[in-house]
Structure 1
Amino acid sequence: MLHAVGVELRAIWSARALVWVLTKREVAARHAGTAAGIVWPYIQPLLTVAAYYLVFDVVFSMRLGDGAPTHAVGTYLIVGALPWMAFCDAISRGMNSLIDAGGLLHKNPLPPVLFVVRSVLASAVVFAPLLLLLALAYAPLHGFGLPTLSLPLLLLLQWGVCLLLAYVLAILAAALRDTVQMVGFLLSVGIYLSPVLFPMALFPERWRWVLWLNPMTAPVQGYQQVLLQGAWPLPAVWWVLLAWMGVLVLVLNLLIERSRDQLVDWL
């Protein structure tokens, strides 16, 4: 039933050494020509979250109301904003990966999936250490309790969703370039339809189901529950993440089967 996805997974495994080489080159290209060098991709998101803390917690001392997992606004924003930045970076770069590699794919019979994996892995190389720093900064607030053990699984599922969604969008973008503009708009407004900027409790109850349509709502909820409350992620977090992965696998399998013979020509 999922033959096409299985073929792609075998192609990734067979070319895993090449994928790693491509990933290292992708990461190097992000800081090429900069004075800060390899640290530049890490400095940008760190400065962003530092600004959140400085402005909201230090300068204005803003506080959230009842129902929030924490009352400090900056402290709350950082936990959701950093994973959201990781998601946007992986989706944007992964979606454009096939278009950017079009010339190379025309000249070399390489599996297109390698270039999507390269882009998403490069984002993981940059943001995974930052998310680890986030965990190390917040976990002591709850004495490094057992719920912190759920963070690696949350990260793995988040990147799994990113890879699947990026590949789906990369195929759609190859077929229809308008996909890039549409997804860019959705990423810009999607942060307002997630618990990144405000607790879910502040969203009208009868419309909260809309937030779960955002693929980042579940992992952000999980990070907030672990890092801000010292609690295990609720079962809904895991079920929604697994549901997203299941749906994306089915959609991806269909798209690969339908586009296999035309994909390179579209590029």
Structure 2
Amino acid sequence: MRALLCEVKAAVSAHALVWVLTQRELAARHSGTAAGVVWPYLQPLLTVAAFYLVFDIVFAMRLGEGAPTHAVGTYLIVGALPWMAFCDAVSRGMGSLLDAGGLLQKNPLPAVLFTARAVLASALIYGPLLALVAVAYAPLHGFAPAVLSMVPLLALQLVLCLLMGYLLAILAAALRDTVQLVGFLLSVGIYLSPILFPITLFPERWRWVLWLNPMTGLVQGYQQVLLQGAWPSAGVWWATIAWIALAAVLLNVAVSRSRDQLVDWL
């Protein structure tokens, strides 16, 4: 894991530059919009508000037995918002090196800085929104102490996005088809997770397929905390840690093999 550790040290050493780059990234996302800095937050908020309005208010749809809550819109929001955060961070991280190709060819900056910039910018948008949802859902579970586990869950999601975003950024630099393939997987990934339906509704013999989605464990963790006021189960932690470990190993290999060629690919 020596190559990956070197990348981590480079990012930590240049943390001031990463922060400046992240601020510029955030500014670029709302540049030229009438809503200004509110716009990046307004888009996901309007989406989850639509879930609540359509499914809970207009149609008053209800989930069956075995679901952590019976209100469909309330259930969807808990899984959909973290999924949107994951997709935004991973997709922007994947394109970060391609976007910074000209700059990397002229300046000997660590490539990891640009992926960190993209992922951290997404975290600064969706992190406060997830915290807001945690506060809004507190009455459902009576302000249970388990809500404190949102902090490690969000931290693990950030680490997972950083690792996967950088890995995919390197792969996208080497093979442009990566962008189209990952875009397709992200578009169908929501159906292979317990976001749109409780995991108990999925055929038992095929439930292992859901665990091929790196967000399945985290989504279940958010559901257990926000909908039931329970501490995340051991399976949530182990599944997420396993995905992080796998991403770290693959990223270490990718960094090692691309060190001398990455700028040429860009």
- Provide the C-alpha distance between the structure 2 equivalents of 1:102 and 1:203, rounded to a whole number of angstroms: 43
Q: Say yes or no: does 1:30 pair with 2:29.
A: yes
Aligned equivalents of 2:177, 2:103: Cα separation in 1: 22
| Matched residue, 1:265 | 264
Alignment-mate amino acid for residue 74 of structure 2:
T
2:152 maps to what in 1?
Answer: 153
Counterpart Cα distance in 1 of 2:56 and 2:243:
34
The runs of at least 4 consecutive aligned structure 1 residues that moved more than 6 Å come to none
* Structure 1 Cα separation of the partners of residues 161 and 17 of structure 2: 21
Indicate the residue corresponding to 1:101 in structure 2: 100
1:90 is matched with 89
Q: Deviations over 1:146-183 (max 9, x none)?
A: 11111100000011111101111000000000000000
Q: Alpha-carbon deviations, 1:13-55, whole Å to 9, x = none?
A: 1100000000000000000000100000000000000000000
Normalising by structure 2, we get a TM-score of 0.99
Q: Deviations over 1:206-257 (max 9, x none)?
A: 1101101101101100000000011111100000111011111111101100
Query: Which string of whole-angstrom CA distances, capped at 9 and with x for unpartnered residues, describes residues 49-100 of structure 1?
Result: 0000000000000000111110000000000000000000001100000000
Give TM-score scaled by structure 1 length: 0.99
**Displacement of 1:140 after TM fit?**
2.3
Q: Which residue of 2 aligns with 1:14?
A: 13
The separation in 2 between residues aligned to 1:206 and 1:119, in whole angstroms, is: 38
Offset from partner CA, 1:130-150 (integer Å, 9 cap, x none): 000010000222121111111
Query: Alignment partner of 1:144: what SS?
Result: coil
Query: Partner amino acid for 2:88?
Result: D
CA distance in 2, matches of 1:43, 1:248: 31
Q: What is the rounded CA distance, in whole Å, between the counterparts of 2:247 and 2:233 in structure 1?
A: 22
User: In 2, distance between residues paired with 1:36 and 1:146?
Assistant: 36
**Secondary structure of the residue that 1:228 maps to in structure 2?**
helix
C-alpha distance in 1 between matches for 2:140 and 2:187: 32
Gaps of 5+ in 2: none
Give the secondary structure class of the aligned counterpart of 2:10.
Answer: helix
Aligned pairs for 1:239-250 within 5 A: 239-250=238-249
1:9-158 aligned within 5 A:
9-158=8-157
How far 1:128 moved relative to its partner?
0.2
Superposition map of 1:167-186 within 5 A: 167-186=166-185
Query: Tell me, what secondary structure is at the counterpart of 1:219?
Result: helix
Aligned residues: 266
Counterpart in the other structure of 1:234: 233
Q: What letter corresponds to residue 192 of structure 1 in structure 2?
A: Y
Give identity over the alignment, percent: 73
Give 1:35's aligned amino acid.
A
The 3-state SS of whatever aligns with 1:206 is helix
Q: Residue type matched to 2:29 in 1?
A: R
Q: Give the counterpart letter for 2:230 in structure 1.
A: A
Moved more, 135-144 or 54-63: 135-144
Task: State the alpha-carbon separation in 1 of the partners of residues 30 and 256 from structure 2.
Answer: 36
- Structure 1 gap segments, 5+ residues each: none
> Residue type of the partner of 2:174?
A
- Secondary structure of 1:83's match? helix
Q: How many Å separate the matches in 2 of 1:47 and 1:263?
A: 39
User: RMSD of the TM alignment (CA)?
Assistant: 0.5
Q: C-alpha separation between the residues in 2 aligned to 1:199 and 1:142?
A: 18
For 2:62, the aligned partner's letter is R
Question: SS in structure 1 opposite 2:63?
Answer: coil
Question: CA separation in 2, counterparts of 1:26 and 1:84?
Answer: 21
CA distance in 2, matches of 1:73, 1:63: 5
